[in-house]
Structure 1
Amino acid sequence: MAMSTKIRVAVIQLHSKPLDIEGNFTKACAFIRQAAEQGAQLVVLPEYHLNGYVPEDPIYIQQASQYKKYLDQYCVLARELSVCLVPGTFVERHPAAAQSSGNRTLNDLDGDYQLFNTSYFISHEGEILGSYRKKNLWHTERSHQSRGWEKHSAISTPLGKVGLLICWDLAFPEAFRQLVKDGADIIIVPTCWTLDESHAYGLGLNPNYESLVLNTMITSRCFENTCAVVFANAGGPSHTFVGLSQVALPFVGAVDGIWDSSENFFIAEIDMEILKQAELNYKVREDMAEKDWHY
């Protein structure tokens, strides 16, 4: 796959049925095939797309041990369709690491394992080119999952340098800065942003504040980092899900998106010339490369 100045990205806003890992996988694959048939070069799925988020259920813990099976099948599918693929995130069960409790949040249901929330970039040849474990856990995730501690690093892909973040990472400009400083032009953010824990006080001030914060942060991040942001949120009933999956660029804002919480997908074009011109204008990367960069 030759690098292009324009990249066609498909974002799938999937409504996953909790714990129906086979059904969700089958549905995701059908959407990926549709996107590939329509010329997508990169396809992105949302966070927790395989089994939803029900961490108290023992079946959920068992399914976390099966992630490699589905990751391998996504690699086969990417090679078959010749598309790059970010298959949302996988909840992964791993043996507990020998770390001090101050450096991790440990799921301690049986004391011998950790759960990580991990995203992968798969090339059009079916190769895993890089991965990222979620660092900034939402408050209620911290009693169930361990945070990743690796440095934010850009991944070299056939589409250029790509960064991976997950959901609540969106609220941390520092994460974007590290990726951009490492050369990332496209930052992909699989997400499962719901209304389940919306703040009553905030809702009293603005019933749509969740939508406001997402649209604001996505737009801000692409401008302040001269990068493209690919935001793939989960879909579902509007009383629970926000949706708003979108692709945003500096100067332009959202290029395209799904402006409700419905299950669907869209294909947007990332014009790399826009990113080049944004950097020429704002010189963010140039400033960060200076010896006297002060942050």
Structure 2
Amino acid sequence: MTKSNIRVAIAQTAPIVAPEGPAKLEKPHSTSPFSTIDQNLIDVISYVERAAAQRAEVVIFPEYFLQGIVNQNRQYLTFPSKHLLTFLRDLAKTHRIALCGTIVHGKREEGAAPIPSSSPFSHIPLHTSHKSPSISPAQLEWGKYLEAHPLSTEESAQPTLYNTAFFIDDQGEVVGEYTKQNLWHPERHYITPGEDDHKVFETKWGKIGMMICWDMSHPSHAQELASQGADIIFAPTFWYATDSEPTIHKYQHDPQYEHNMVQSLCFARCAETETVWVMCNAGGDPLEGCMGGSGVWVPLRGKIASCEIGPKLEVVDIDLGVLKDSRELYKIREDAAKRLCT
């Protein structure tokens, strides 16, 4: 039976971005080669605990919320991606809460040394009250691996990376995945677009679909999810206030142009698809280009939850019954279905 409401936690985190270049160990063989991911994971655990304490059922994080922005100069951060997913599955199951976010997956060129099978994150406890050990055998193994097998020139020049959104249920099962298709222009130099069709997946709250950041600028992709009966669309995002620079400075413009653009896209996608739209952007220092603005948009109600610029956890209750009324009033889906039949 589909639940008539959902309690969502928006975790507008400020992901730490690793420096460009190969993994650098502060003390060779005695520290983690993924120190920024470690810090982001610890931050995530805190958000999940707080969301669970407020009885949230789903937590959505920004795009790049664990690895920071990944490009060809940081692609070593993608090597342990399967271990990140396993960690998050354990986290969801431990706290009995569903998780949504993105992970960038990469693979080494043919003939490269096999990636270690141990998790470099197993030392991090699933509760903030527990202290993690200073170093673990797996961290040592990964540190030695990255030092002994650096990226080749070809790997650095032509990386194979995929940015994939996931939805993990409260039992720790991955029930939905989607690989970003519409890449922001700089991403096209190092991220490979997904090719699989958009698909919704069944949950206790109805049908859910996912899009990632610049996907929001393509209404046809949102319509694909709507045509499959999506009730809720989750959109992890990493959108800077400076993304239109320097071109925008050729014209007089609203100082809040970038913020307003994202807000307008979210409301438009919500209205035209007759879905609940949940977007989580990265928060942080505005001097570094961060603009936050995460929120929830609902037909007949508008924006019902909002974050400003900095890091924040926002928990909101959403009455899904509004979808039935909005679809009966606007009949956008009904009209679209009729056109397909003629």
Q: TM-score, normalised by structure 1?
A: 0.89
Instruction: Give 2:45's match in structure 1, choosing from 29, 43, 48.
Output: 29
Unmatched 5+ stretches in structure 2: 19-35, 111-152
Give the one of 298, 302, 307 matched to 1:253.
302
Q: 2:332 aligns with which of 284, 287, 295?
A: 284
Structure 2 Cα separation of the partners of residues 254 and 96 of structure 1: 45
Deviation at 1:54, TM superposition (A): 4.6
Which residue identity lines up with residue 313 of structure 2 in the other structure?
F
- Counterpart of 1:36, as a letter, is A
Q: Aligned ranges for residues 111-126 of structure 1 at < 5 Å?
A: 114-126=160-172
**Conserved in 1, the CA contact under 8 Å of 2:4 and 2:205?**
no
Q: Does residue 1:265 correspond to 2:310, yes or no?
A: no
Other structure's SS at 1:109 match: helix
Measure the CA separation in 1 of the matches of 2:215 and 2:206. Answer: 22
SS state at 1:290 partner: helix
RMSD: 2.0
Match of 1:242 in 2: 291
- Cα 1:111–1:243 change in 2 (3 A) is closer
How far apart in 2 are the matches of 1:238 and 1:277?
39
Residues 1:93 and 2:131 are matched in the alignment: no
Higher Rg of the two aligned structures:
2
| Aligned: 1:155 with 2:201 | yes
Counterpart contact for 2:109–2:155, Cα < 8 Å:
no
Matches within 5 A, 1:1-295: 3-19=2-18, 20-57=36-73, 60-86=74-100, 88-94=101-107, 109-110=155-156, 114-203=160-249, 204-239=252-287, 240-258=289-307, 260-290=308-338, 292-293=340-341
Contact 2:10 2:313 in 1 (8 A): yes
Which amino acid in 1 is paired with 2:105?
Answer: E
Using the alignment, how far apart are the partners of 2:286 and 2:319 within structure 1?
32
- Give unmatched runs, 5+ long, in structure 1: 98-106
Identical pairs, percent: 32
> 1:293 & 1:184 partners in 2: Cα distance?
19
Displacement, 1:56? 4.2
Residues 72, 156 of structure 2: 8 Å contact kept: no
Q: Quick check: which one's strand share is greater?
A: 1
Paired amino acid for 1:189: A
Count of residue pairs brought into register by the alignment? 280
2:267 is paired with a residue of what secondary structure?
A: helix
Q: 2 CA distance for matches of 1:267 and 1:251?
A: 20
Contact 1:202 1:209 in 2 (8 A): no
Give, in angstroms, the shift of residue 158 of structure 1: 2.3
Deviation at 1:34, TM superposition (A): 0.5
When the two structures are superposed, what TM-score results if normalisation uses the length of structure 2? 0.78
